[in-house]
Amino acid sequence: MTTQWKIILVLVTLSVLWGSSFLAIKDVIEAIPPILSFGIRFVISGVVILSVYLLRSRSGKGERIGKQQWKDVLILGAFIIVGGQGLLVWGAQYLSSGMTALLNSTIPLWVALIAAIILREHMTKRMVFGLVAGFVGLVILINPFIGNDRNVNFVGIISLTLSSIFWAIGSLYSTRSHNPVSILASAGMLMLLGGIMLTFISFIIGEFGNIQLSKILSSFPAYVYLIFLCTALGYAEFFWLLRAESASIANSFAYIVPVVALFLGWLILKEPIYPQTILATCVIMIGVVLMVMNSSNKAKPNLMPK
């Protein structure tokens, strides 16, 4: 399988995992306060991935992690986990899962905008067209909410918008930081440090007293799915993308995620799907494919988990 097809395969699986995660998030935060639920989620996932990495390191397959790498991961944890995911789950309690996914899908637009303005990165015509197609698809996709989802909270909208901006900044910083070569080490360190920071914030704002013990058992399957598949596997895939391609292409999964979230909402929660949704799916997929197929073919090191 060529690298290009690997990128497409990872984008598809990541989109399904993180698209379905919005339904799981809505279920989990009914039992556990939002920031605390994500703090625990990332700490457990980080411990699991780092444990796997350390076991492999004993067999001579790991590399030494220095202080600079820990500092870079700490910064990444602040942007991607605390800012990106913390604000996402905070806003999710005020919005529907579909609207949360839609606002979160603006990540590639912020990545491209920040990269072009601040980092002076060049964008080809095809990539610009892909971004425009994705934006048009999102506009079409939002139409089903007009007149049907009036329960829109500005706190949620602002929180999700800032979440996307923080995630975009963290993604761009990651491509220039001194991350460990191993994706397992990078993902595990990021989630562990980010999860600890979120848990500390949760303690400061007093969430520990708001746990709904009566609802924990019913939300447990969703929490397990969120921790081990959406987080542990999902972040390992995302780090591979960040190293295999540009931040814009790595984040292009965000165009597909809302489509997955809306489809699962229809399938599981019996939410209606409108004709605009089908049209938006086609337009968004065209945008993603254009961005991925436009990627450079320059040689890259073997970036699969070690």
pLDDT tens-digit map of 21-32: 999 998 899 899
* Residue 292 included in any domain: no
Measuring CA to CA, which residue among 93, 43, 97 is closest to residue 231?
43
Cα 199 to its chain centre, rounded Å, is 19
* Residue 88 included in any domain: yes
* Residue 195 included in any domain: yes
| Section 64-74 average pLDDT | 82
Residue 60 Ramachandran class (φ > 0 left, ψ -120 to 50 alpha, else beta): left
* Residue 66 included in any domain: yes
pLDDT of residue 39: 96
pLDDT of residue 193: 95
* Residue 47 included in any domain: yes
Encoded tokens for 262: 């809306």
pLDDT of residue 70: 86
DSSP 81: I
**Residues 34, 93 contacting (CB under 8 angstroms):** yes
* Residue 275 included in any domain: no
pLDDT of residue 145: 53
Residue with the bigger pLDDT between 222 and 246: it is 222
pLDDT category, 87, cuts 50, 70, 90? very high
CA distance 300 to 6: 13
Residues 6+ apart with CB under 8 A from 6: 244
pLDDT of residue 265: 78
**Residues 294, 127 contacting (CB under 8 angstroms):** yes
Residue 161 has φ and ψ, to the nearest 5°, of: -65, -45
CA distance 269 to 62: 44
pLDDT of residue 275: 78
The residue with tokens 């491209």 is 112
| Section 208-229 average pLDDT | 88
pLDDT of residue 304: 29
Across 60-64, 122-126, 293-297, least confident range: 293-297
Across 50-59, 190-199, 235-244, 274-283, least confident range: 274-283
| Section 144-173 average pLDDT | 77
* Residue 145 included in any domain: no
Q: Is the pLDDT of residue 13 over 70?
A: yes
pLDDT of residue 215: 84
pLDDT of residue 303: 31
For residue 211, the tally of other CB atoms under 10 A from its CB is 14
pLDDT of residue 6: 86
E strand map for 139-289: none
Residue 261 Ramachandran class (φ > 0 left, ψ -120 to 50 alpha, else beta): alpha
- Tens digit of each residue's pLDDT (9 = 90 or more) over 90-140: 999 988 787 788 788 778 778 878 888 887 777 788 878 888 887 787 777
CA distance 82 to 87: 7
pTM, full prediction: 0.80
Q: Is the pLDDT of residue 300 over 50?
A: no
Q: Is the pLDDT of residue 292 over 70?
A: no
179-183 long-range contacts, Cβ below 8 Å, gap at least 24?
179/69, 179/72, 179/73, 179/239, 179/243, 180/63, 180/65, 180/69, 181/63, 181/306, 182/53, 182/62, 182/63, 182/305, 182/306, 183/236, 183/239, 183/240, 183/243, 183/303, 183/304, 183/305, 183/306
**Residues 254, 106 contacting (CB under 8 angstroms):** yes
Encoded tokens for 78: 């602040």
* Residue 290 included in any domain: no
Encoded tokens for 43: 């700490």
Counted domains in the chain: 1
pLDDT of residue 221: 93
Q: Is the pLDDT of residue 83 over 50?
A: yes
CA distance 97 to 89: 10
Could you tell me the residue range of the domain that residue 26 belongs to?
A: 3-122+151-254
pLDDT of residue 179: 66
